[in-house]
Structure 1
Amino acid sequence: MPSRKRAAVIGAIALPWLVAAIPAAPAPAAALTAAAECAPLPSAGKYPTWDKLPKQTTLPDPWLPLAYTTTDSEGGSSPSFASDVMTGKGKNRIQTPEEWYRCRQPEILQMLQEYQYGYYPDHSKETVKATRSGNTVNIEVTAGGKTGKFSATLALPPSSSPAKPAPVVINIGGMTNQPYLQAGIAVVGFDYSRVAADSNAKTGAFWDIYNGRDIGVLTAWAWGFHRVLDALNATVAEIDSSRVGVTGCSRLGKAALAAGLLDARITLTMPMSSGVQGLGPYRYHGLSGQDETLENSKSGAGWWTDKALGTFVGHAENLPYDAHTIAAAIAPRALVIDQGTGDQFTNSKGTSVVVYPAAKLVYSWLGVPDQIAMSVRGGGHCDMSGFNSVLPFVTKILQNQTITKDYDDLGSYGSPMSTTYPWATAVPKAA
C-alpha cells in the first residue's frame, strides 16, 4: 500500500477499559447490599508463603478463595483440611457466576500478579504516542518522565479498509501469515526483544520506563502487546480493534497468555506450545517426556516471572493455583490452546488432558463452553502447523464463522484425566 503517515497521542486517562485498572481489592461490602461479601485479600507483598499453604497434589479448586485455603484459616487445623480443599469441600466457596466475576476473578488476577507475573504498571500514568508510516507503526510510551520506544509491522488483508476494518491477530516471534490474510484477518507483529530482553539484562522499552521493579519479562512482553493495541486503535483505521487475538509460541506463548489475561480488550488468547508458566501444569508435569517444571524453568530463565514464584521452587504443589486457574480467569473471553503430540518439552499431554478439561468446567459453569478450545495436532514444539490448526476457531471467534472442527477432540491423548481435578464432582450449582 502507498506510504502514509498518521500520528496520535493517546491520553492515558481516556483509557478506562484497560486492565491496567485491575481491582486491587473487592468493592466494600457496604456497596454490595444485595450481594455476598467478597473474601478478604492480602495486600501486595503480604500473601501467604508456601509453608502457610496446604500441599495440594491435585489441581486447586478454582472456586475456593485464597483466604480459605491457607493453613491458618478457619478449619486449617482439621486433619481433613487439605483433603477438603482439594475435593471441593472447602468452606466459603464461590457459588454463582455473579460472585465469580465480582469477587473471584479479580482475586485471581491479583493473586497471579503477586505470585507469578509481578504487578502490572498503572497505565493511567502512561502517555502513548503512535505514528504510522506505511506498514510500520512507531510507538512511544512515556511515564514518570521516562520514555520507551519500539515499533510494530502491519500485514493487512486485501479486503480491509477504513469502511470495512478487519479483525487482527497480534503476534511475537512470527506466525504463518498467509492463511490468516486470506481469511480476512490482519496480522501484526512486533520485536519482543525491543520491548524487553529475554534475559536479566533489563534492556528494552519496558525497562527504559520501569527498571527496578519486580516484574517478570512475560509481563513486560504482555505490556508490549497492549501498547501495540493502543497504537493500532489510534492509527490503523483498517483494523477493527474490538476483534483482537494475541499469540506467540513457547516462552512467547506464555507471554501471549499473560497479555490475554491482563487486558480485557483481548477477544481471543492463543498460546502455542506454552508449557509451565503458560498452560502447562505445575502439577502432573511428567506426562510428555522431557518437560518443563517450575524448578528447571526458574533455573534456566528466572527472569520470565517475578521473584515470589521462585520461593515455590521445590514446593510447587503448595501453589494455590495452577494453569487451569489462569485459563479460567480469562472467561468469558475466548481461549484456544495449541499443543503438538510430538512436543516432549512442554508437557502437551498434561495441558490437553489435565489443564484444558479442568478450565472448561469453569467456562461451562459460566455459560460459555464454546469460548474455550483445545487444538491437539501432530508435530513438535512450535510447529507452524499449529497456526493452521487453530485457524477455524479463530474465524469462529473473530468473524462469527460456523465451523465443524471438534476442539474437544484430544486425539491420541484420549480422554480427560478427571482424577487430577476431584472437585469436578462438587461444581457449584449456578442459578
Structure 2
Amino acid sequence: RHPMPKNQAARKLGGVLLGASLLLLILATPSFGKDGRLSPEELPPIQGLPDPFLMESGKRVQSVEDWNQRREEIKDLLLDYEYGHMPPAPGDMRAEETESMDLFGGKATLKRILLSFGENQEIQMNVGIYLPKEQSEPRPVIFLNDMVWYEHLRPLAERILDEGFIFAGFDRHDLDRDDKDRSDGVHPLYPDYDWGTLAVWAWGCMRVVDYLVTLDEVDSSKIALTGHSRAGKVALLAGGMDDRIAMVVPNGSGAGGAGSFKIEEKGVETLELITQPERFQYWFQKDLRDFVGHEDRLPFDQHFLKALVAPRLLLSTDALGDQWANPLGTQQTHRAAQPVFDFLGVPDHNAIHFREGGHDMLKPDWDALLDFAGHHFLRKPLGEDYKEVPFPDVPLELNWKRP
C-alpha cells in the first residue's frame, strides 16, 4: 500500500460528503475504513452524479485556484478507491535503439527502442516510433498505448505521418501481463503499492511520455494519447493524471473508462461484473468491489476523471452497438464533465463521437481522432461537430451547477 501523506485520512472526509453539516458530523464521530478510506456503509448515498466542484472542506470551488486544489483531491479519490496508487517516476532513463527500418517508400523510419529505468535499469519497456525522414520542425505525436510495430498497423502509421504527426506506442505487457499474478512485471519492484493493472499500464504511458519529450522531433506540447477497450481505460487514466498529455482519446473504454458505474442499463458491463475475482478485479484497487450494491455511495463517477483532463483536450470515441461499453453512461459522464470545461473557459475541449457498429477501433474512430487533433494541433479546419450526443432526450440528473 502506498503510504498516505501526512493527515490525508483527515483530509479525505470532506470531499465525499454532500455538505458541511455532514462533514462536521463525521469529524465529530470519526469512523475510518481501510487505510483511512471510508467504507461504502460510512459514505452517504448521493442522488444523481456527484458534484466535482465540492471540495473536501465542504465549500464549493469558486476560482481556478480552488479548482487546482480540487483536482488534487479528485486524483486522491480516484487512486484511493478505484485504481490504486502509482509510484513516482523511477528516473535514470535510458533509451537503446534495437532496430530501425525504412518504410513507405523511404518516407519514414520505424525505430524500436528499449526503454529502461531505475538504478539498475530493472524496469524495461519496448517502444516503437514512426518518424518522417524529412521533418523541418517538431511534430505532434499520436501515442497509442499498444504495440504499433506490427504490419497490420502500417497503413494507419503511414496515414498518421502523412497528416503531419508522429506515431508511437509501447508494449504495456512488459510491465504487467494482464493477469492476477503479482510476481511478474514491475510488481516485485513495488510490493507496497496497491495499484491495479490499469494503473500500472497508465504509469507505463507516463514513462513513454518521459521519453517522447526528450526527442527533438517531437512537439512536447502536443502529445495525444489513445487506446481501445482496456487500453482506452488506461489512456483516460494516464491523461487525467499527467498534464503533459495534451489530448486524451479513450475509445470503447466503458466501465472504469469513459462509461459510468452509476448509470448502468441492461446489457452493460457493470461494476459487479468487471470486478468479479474471476474476471478483472485485478485491474482496479481491490476494494473497489466493496461498492457493488452500493454504487450510489461512490464519492465519484467517471466524469471526475474526465474533468481532470480539463482544460486540455478530451475526445471520447465510442460505438452505438457496443452496449457492453455503456454508450448512455459514456454520454452522461461526458455531459457531467462539461461544466468543468465551461468553468475553465474551454467548452469545445470536451468532445464526443459515436459511430454505428460494435466494439472495435475502426476507421471512423481514427477519422475523428485525426480530425480533432488536426484542428487543435495543426490548425486544420474541423470536419465534424463533436458535441452531438446519441441520446439527447435522456435527462441528466445533476443536483449541482457550475460555480
Give the TM bin, normalised by the shorter chain: 0.7 to 0.9
Structure 1 residues 394 and 48: alpha-carbon distance in aligned structure 2, compared to 1, 3 A threshold: same
- Pick from 284, 309, 313 the counterpart of residue 288 of structure 2: 309
Residue aligning to 2:179: 199
Residue aligning to 1:295: 272
Residue 208 of structure 1, CA deviation: 4.7
Instruction: State yes or no: 1:375 paired with 2:353.
Output: yes
Whichever residue aligns with residue 273 of structure 2, its letter is N
Structure 1 residues 397 and 207: alpha-carbon distance in aligned structure 2, compared to 1, 3 A threshold: farther
Residue aligning to 1:118: 84
Residue aligning to 1:61: 51
Aligned-partner Cα distance in 1 for 2:183–2:357? 34
Aligned-partner Cα distance in 2 for 1:110–1:310? 18
Aligned-partner Cα distance in 1 for 2:393–2:245? 28
Give the 3-state SS of the residue equivalent to 2:324 in structure 1.
coil
Residue aligning to 2:40: 50
Give the 3-state SS of the residue equivalent to 1:181 in structure 2.
helix
CA contact (8 A) 1:129 1:141 kept: yes
Instruction: State yes or no: 1:217 paired with 2:203.
Output: no
Aligned-partner Cα distance in 1 for 2:121–2:393? 49
Instruction: State yes or no: 1:273 paired with 2:273.
Output: no
CA contact (8 A) 1:25 1:107 kept: no
Q: Which moved more, 1:46-55 or 1:59-68?
A: 59-68
Residue 420 of structure 1, CA deviation: 2.2
Deviation per CA, 1:275-324, whole angstroms, max 9, x where unpaired? 111111111111xx521111100012011111231221221211000011
Give the 3-state SS of the residue equivalent to 2:95 in structure 1.
strand
Equivalent positions of 1:126-137 (< 5 A) are: 126-133=91-98, 134=100, 135-137=111-113
Residue aligning to 1:79: none
Aligned-partner Cα distance in 2 for 1:295–1:196? 23
Aligned-partner Cα distance in 2 for 1:351–1:24? 36
Residue aligning to 2:118: 142
Structure 1 residues 333 and 24: alpha-carbon distance in aligned structure 2, compared to 1, 3 A threshold: farther
Structure 1 residues 315 and 334: alpha-carbon distance in aligned structure 2, compared to 1, 3 A threshold: same
Equivalent positions of 1:134-173 (< 5 A) are: 134=100, 135-142=111-118, 147-159=122-134, 161=135, 163-173=136-146
CA contact (8 A) 1:59 1:322 kept: yes
Instruction: State yes or no: 1:249 paired with 2:211.
Output: no
Equivalent positions of 1:90-105 (< 5 A) are: 92-101=59-68, 103-105=69-71
Aligned-partner Cα distance in 1 for 2:39–2:55? 16
Aligned-partner Cα distance in 1 for 2:122–2:48? 45
Aligned-partner Cα distance in 2 for 1:346–1:24? 38
Aligned-partner Cα distance in 2 for 1:64–1:215? 26
Residue aligning to 1:32: none
Instruction: State yes or no: 1:326 paired with 2:305.
Output: yes
Structure 1 residues 179 and 349: alpha-carbon distance in aligned structure 2, compared to 1, 3 A threshold: farther
Whichever residue aligns with residue 98 of structure 1, its letter is E
Residue aligning to 2:206: 226
Residue 212 of structure 1, CA deviation: 4.8
Residue 52 of structure 1, CA deviation: 1.6
Aligned-partner Cα distance in 2 for 1:24–1:188? 39
Structure 1 residues 232 and 298: alpha-carbon distance in aligned structure 2, compared to 1, 3 A threshold: same
Structure 1 residues 247 and 406: alpha-carbon distance in aligned structure 2, compared to 1, 3 A threshold: same
CA contact (8 A) 1:146 1:208 kept: no
Give the 3-state SS of the residue equivalent to 2:311 in structure 1.
coil
Give the 3-state SS of the residue equivalent to 1:419 in structure 2.
coil
- Pick from 346, 352, 360 the counterpart of residue 325 of structure 2: 346
CA contact (8 A) 2:141 2:168 kept: yes
Residue aligning to 1:13: none
Whichever residue aligns with residue 114 of structure 1, its letter is D
CA contact (8 A) 2:252 2:360 kept: yes
Name segments (4+ residues, structure 1) moved above 6 Å.
22-26, 39-44
Give the 3-state SS of the residue equivalent to 1:56 in structure 2.
coil
Structure 1 residues 233 and 61: alpha-carbon distance in aligned structure 2, compared to 1, 3 A threshold: closer
Give the 3-state SS of the residue equivalent to 1:127 in structure 2.
coil
Residue 247 of structure 1, CA deviation: 1.0
Aligned-partner Cα distance in 2 for 1:416–1:100? 30
Q: Which moved more, 1:401-410 or 1:216-225?
A: 401-410
Whichever residue aligns with residue 427 of structure 1, its letter is R
Q: Percent identity at matched positions?
A: 31
Structure 2: gaps spanning 5 or more residues? 9-22, 101-110
Aligned-partner Cα distance in 2 for 1:276–1:168? 27
- TM-score (normalizing by structure 2): 0.82
